[in-house]
Amino acid sequence: MKKAKRKNTKATHGPKILDGKKIGEEIKAELKVKIEELKEKGVVPGLAVVLVGDNPASKVYVSNKRKTCEELGIRSFAYDLPKTTTEDELITLIKELNANPEVHGILVQSPIEGRDIDEDKIIELIEPNKDVDGFHPINKGRLLNGQDCFVACTPAGIVELLIRYGYRPEGKHVVIVGRSNIVGKPLATLLVQKSEWGNATVTVCHTRTRNLSTITKSADILVAAIGQPEFITGRMVKEGCVVVDVGVNRVEDPSRKSGYRLVGDVHFDSVAKKARAITPVPGGVGPMTIAMLMKNTVKSAEKYLLSREK
Ligand code: NDP
């Protein structure tokens, strides 16, 4: 009798790639259905994206947001203002957008490069019901209280990505490196909520944190939002952790036509050897951020429809 051939049981190693591009596409497909429903009821979701100045990275972000609006059938209101724009001029525009019933979301791209413009003042002027970036203090306060609100798109995208891949944060120790107002702090707030997408135990680290590696090594889920290329290395993570890399850093690369390439805050190769799952850069958190912006805009349009029907 012939001996049965031995099966090749060699495990294929390597972490699961948390593909933000793929999940972002899924979310956009879901949104398209909702957008059609809204249109049938006479509401076309509208997003105003305001760019002041000519920061190259901002231009790319703004163009991606507008293209995604077009792709989904969201009406895009584009305002590209020169560096010479004054605070008063920008205030006038925001007030007009607040009053325009066809605009359901308003986003002013940061950094605002105009003449001595107070960014906080501008954000606070946006009608909270149209603040689809989730940066208005009212939305941040409502998030802290566990109330319905617009959640900042990057933190919302991170949680959505984890959950759609089955890595629910509940009961896990999530370590976030970075405490910015747009990523670290709102993400921590979201994750500690008593809710189906929260219930995590959260540690937030920053430049004054002592023994950073000891803390990052204790993470079940590690989020790097630092802004330092490839800062988190393999020796800083524990075997089997889930790693989310928020960082987008340009590093010189003469082999590329552009002269640079994008890397995250995580040293992918060394961390991937130990992680159970990891987000790539690009293609991880970035596309999720845009998808969540579209989701917030549709949510705002739905709320508008409800208020009109009352
Ligand atoms: P900020 O510069 O506002 O914050 C960086 C944070 O990292 C700060 O809290 C800082 O601490 C901390 N930090 C910096 N160096 C160290 C260090 N050596 N050790 C420990 N902590 C450190 O950055 P953002 O939150 O705005 O962005 C972070 C990264 O994410 C950037 O690369 C950015 O481009 C990217 N990003 C990506 C988005 C996406 O959609 N993919 C969206 C938003 C941001 P301290 O407070 O003490 O200074």
Q: How confident is the model over 273-288, as pLDDT tens digits?
A: 999 999 999 999 999 9
Report CA(188)–ligand 1 centroid distance (Å).
14
Q: Which residue has the tokens 């409502």?
A: 142
**Among 62, 180, 260, residue to substitute to test ligand 1 (most atoms within 8 Å of Cβ):** 180
Count CB neighbours of 96 within 10 A.
Answer: 12
CA angle 128, 133, 134 (to 5 degrees): 55
**Residues near ligand 1 with C-beta < 6 Å?**
154, 177-180, 182-184, 205-209, 212, 225-228, 246-249, 265, 285-286, 289
CB 68, CB 28: distance < 8 Å: yes
Reported as a pLDDT band with limits 50, 70 and 90, residue 66 is: very high
State the average pLDDT over residues 110-136.
Answer: 96
Neighbour-count burial of 199, counting CB atoms closer than 10 A to its CB (0-12 exposed, 13-18 middle, 19+ buried): middle
Q: Which amino acid is residue 198, in one-letter code?
A: G
CB 241, CB 277: distance < 8 Å: no
pLDDT at 12 over 60: no
Whole-number Å distance between alpha carbons of 184 and 175: 10
pLDDT at 1 over 80: no
Report CA(117)–ligand 1 centroid distance (Å).
23
- pLDDT by residue (tens digit) across 22-50? 999 999 999 999 999 999 999 999 999 99
pLDDT higher for 126 or 3?
126
pLDDT at 3 over 90: no
Catalytic residue numbers read 65, 109, 133
**Among 21, 210, 226, residue to substitute to test ligand 1 (most atoms within 8 Å of Cβ):** 226
CA angle 178, 181, 187 (to 5 degrees): 65
Which residue's CA is the closest to the ligand 1 atom numbered 4?
A: 180
pLDDT at 244 over 70: yes
**Among 151, 175, 181, 206, residue to substitute to test ligand 1 (most atoms within 8 Å of Cβ):** 206
The whole-number pLDDT of residue 148 equals 96
The whole-number pLDDT of residue 199 equals 98
Say which range, 4-8, 203-207, 299-303, has the weakest mean pLDDT. Answer: 4-8
The whole-number pLDDT of residue 6 equals 47
The whole-number pLDDT of residue 309 equals 83
Report CA(264)–ligand 1 centroid distance (Å).
11
Q: Residue 218 is encoded by which pair of tokens? A: 């204790």
CA 21 to the chain's CA centroid: 12
Q: Which residue has the tokens 């997003």?
A: 47
Can you list the domains of the chain with their CATH numbers? 43-131 (3.40.50.10860), 151-286 (3.40.50.720)
Whole-number Å distance between alpha carbons of 84 and 130: 26
Q: Which residue has the tokens 């393999």?
A: 234
Instruction: Provide the terminal-to-terminal Cα distance of the chain, rounded to the nearest Å.
Output: 79
State the average pLDDT over residues 165-172.
Answer: 98
Which residue's CA is the closest to the ligand 1 atom numbered 47?
A: 207
